[in-house]
Structures are given as C-alpha cells and as structure tokens.
Amino acid sequence: MTESRAVPTAVDRTADHALLAACRAVLAPLARLAVARGLRYAQIDELLRAALVDAARDAHPDIAANRSTSRVSAATGLHRREVARFIQAPQNSNPPVRRSLATELFTRWLSDSKWHRKGKPTRALPRQGSGKSFETLAQSVTKDVHPRTLLEEMSRLGLARLDEESDTVHLLRESFVPVGDEQRMLAFVASNVGDHLSASVENLLGPQPRHLEQALFADELSSDSIGRLQPMVRERWQSLLRDLAPAMQALIDDDEAQQRCRDQRLRVGMYAFSAPMTMPIPKPQDEPPARPERRKP
C-alpha cells in the first residue's frame, strides 16, 4: 500500500505565513525588552516551552493522564521527555497583580466626581480636615493604612507631592505610569499587554468576537501633528476614566450587596503609539481609513 499525504495548498502556505508574521510582530518588542534587561535565550526558550505545554493541556482538558504526555507532544512538537518534565514540575502560576492602595486612591481622586471642581479633579487638597481633604479622601479608600503612609507612597511614585508651607497635597499626574518602579512597570506590561493580546487571540479563535479590540491608524503625519494629537488622546482617556471608574465601583458595590457570585474580572485599556514610517504597515480591509485615499491623476 502507498501512503498518502496531504499536500499544503497555496491558501495553507499563505495562512501559515500570516500566522508567523503575526507571531514575529508580537515577539519583536518582547525580544527588545529581553535584550535590554539581559535576559538570555535559554530563559526565554524555557518560558516558551512551558507556555506551549500549558496551552496544549488547556486545549485537551479531558485527556486521560496516561495519554497527556503523548497528546501534548504531538500538539507542540516537543519531545515526550521535555513534556513530561514540564507536566511533573510544580506549577508556578503567579496570582494576578492587585492594584495598590496608593494607586486606588489616585484613581478615586481622578474619577470620583466628589473630588472634582468644574468637571475636573481638584489639583490641591488640604492635607487634613473633616471636609474635602486628602485625609478624608484616603480614609474613603481604606482606614487600615494611615493617610500619611499613603501620601508618602504616592510621592514616591510621582503621583502627588506635599507642600509643607501650605500643608496641601498637590496632584501631579492624570495617569498612572509608575516611573522609577520597574517591578510595578513590568507587572503593568504583563497585565495590560497580556490581556490585550488575550482579547485579540480569543476573538480570532472564537466563533465570533467577544471582546472590544479596535484601533484607528493613520500615516504620513508630521512630528508636529503627532505632538498635537497626543494631548487629545490623553484627554479622551481621562474622559473615559471619569465616566467608567465610578460606574465600575457602583457595580462592584451592588454585586457585594446582592451577594452575587463575583468570579469575573474586566480590564479596559487604551493606548497610543507613534513611530517613524520605516516600512509600510498593512491595514485590515475592514478598517476605515483615517482620511480619504489620495488618487493619482
């Protein structure tokens, strides 16, 4: 008998090329981070192998234990001994990074209308007092940590500062980028980029998109135009934050009061990225152009 094999078609090869191109685009910034921080290939390789094993096991949750190694090996291309090593290793899954009390206080200051004036966050608050003061704001977040401790942490993160002469606390930022705290910045990369990529992948693999994942793209812009657009983007984020954060908190409080099963999480993000046009970037066919296409005469 002759053995028959499926011959890849042109459509198959095109799909494989697109998949590899997508993986390369995702891996490129991760490789840049790894090189910048001295992470070696062997460490990355170990992470990728472990991730492939985990994904293959998740894809076949009902497989019998005695067949798990073979099935994962077939799905990933890893040797059975490698698969067995990862399956037998203790799980080191990290719990989701919870927002610190200082950043929770910062978010409430930005989003809660009680701490706004003319629709915008009050930029300075008395440090103490029973009315609208930083002390009252801090105690609305937690009474387990002293307001002074929270102020010191916000100062360390560059979110607020204390004017000792007037004894007032000044808001320094309108978004939280933890400059100088690399561990927390890396946690943000893992959480934000991880969830964004998960949304894209689930939309791609599922029968229909479940998650909002859209972007507006424009090229042939000057550096001056980029500089004028960036404040507009940041203002849109602040507007979204002011509207959505109180609604989220109200729903959290209602779920707790109604004793509903609270086993879901939600992350809403927004990003803007600009760079020189080093090479053409293909746009999806269903993506509306940011401006009318120019036609040659």
Query: How does pLDDT run across 242-272, given as a tens digit for each residue?
Result: 889 889 988 998 999 999 999 999 999 998 9
Q: What is the pLDDT of residues 102-123, one digit of tens each?
A: 888 998 898 888 888 887 888 9
Kindly tell me if the per-residue pLDDT of 170 is higher than 80. Answer: yes
Looking at residue 190, the DSSP 8-state letter turns out to be: I
Q: How would residue 64 be classed by pLDDT, with cut points 50, 70 and 90? A: confident
Q: What count of other Cβ atoms lies within 10 Å of the Cβ of residue 22? A: 13
Question: What pLDDT score was predicted for residue 2?
Answer: 44
Nearest to 126 by CA among 114, 141, 136: 136
Amino acid at 229: L
Tokens 């401006």 identify what position?
A: 291
Portion of the chain with pLDDT greater than 90, in percent: 44
Question: What pLDDT score was predicted for residue 278?
Answer: 73
Q: How far apart are CA 277 and CA 100, in angstroms?
A: 38
Kindly tell me if the per-residue pLDDT of 293 is higher than 70. Answer: no
* Bridge pairing between strands 116-117 and 120-121: antiparallel
Backbone angles phi, psi at 161, to 5 degrees: -145, 155
Question: What pLDDT score was predicted for residue 221?
Answer: 94
